[in-house]
Amino acid sequence: MHFQGSPNMAEKRVKLISSDNDEFEVDEAVAFESETLRNMIQDTGTNVPISIPNVSSDILAKVLEYCSYHAETMETHDDKPPITDAQIREWDADFVDVHPATLYSLILAANYLNIKNLLDLICQAVANNIRGKTAVEIRKILHIQDDFTYEEEMEIRRETKWAFD
């Protein structure tokens, strides 16, 4: 898969290999959105393919979509007006409008690849998804099993009754 970026981006290309061995070729500027990839490229150069063992191809494609868009928004183009903050926020909102399971996979990828802005964006989306939900609903959304037996939970509720009033 190719993520070209704009014609003004650096000519250097970087080859990335996902956990399921799919190859992605991106502009160096796109890869540099990730601190992890930036450090790897600075250590090994762009001639060596970079293996990303913790990120599947579908999630890596989504991460690279984000990185490509944000790398391009940093560029100036004489032939078109600059992208506004409102346009970026709208694009970001659409980007995180995905199934919760995809969001959680994106969190892991953004954390592993050290893409702070993406991690912040996704964590905010998850926070928005669980805002106003009960503990049971949050556990269901986040796929968290309840560690307490019914009796243990009732004991805790009795001890902390004030918190539920």
pLDDT digits (tens, 9 = 90+) for 96-136: 999 888 999 999 999 999 999 999 999 999 999 889 998 88
Q: What is the pLDDT of residue 11?
A: 66
Name the CATH superfamily housing domain 2-131: Potassium Channel Kv1.1; Chain A (3.30.710.10)
Is the pLDDT at 161 greater than 70, yes or no? yes
Amino acid at position 102, single letter = T
- For 78-88, write each residue's pLDDT tens digit: 677 778 899 99
Q: What is the pLDDT of residue 63?
A: 98
Beta strand 50-51 pairing with 2-3: unpaired
Which one-letter DSSP state was computed for residue 41?
A: H
Average pLDDT for 41-58: 92
Average pLDDT for 47-68: 95
- ∠43-49-54 over CA atoms, to 5°? 90
Q: What stretches of 32-160 show up as alpha helix (H) in DSSP? A: 35-44, 57-73, 85-95, 100-113, 116-130, 135-142, 150-159
User: Rounded mean pLDDT of the chain?
Assistant: 88
Higher pLDDT pick, 114 / 8: 114
For residues 76 and 124, the answer to whether their CB atoms sit within 8 Å is no
Amino acid at position 122, single letter = I
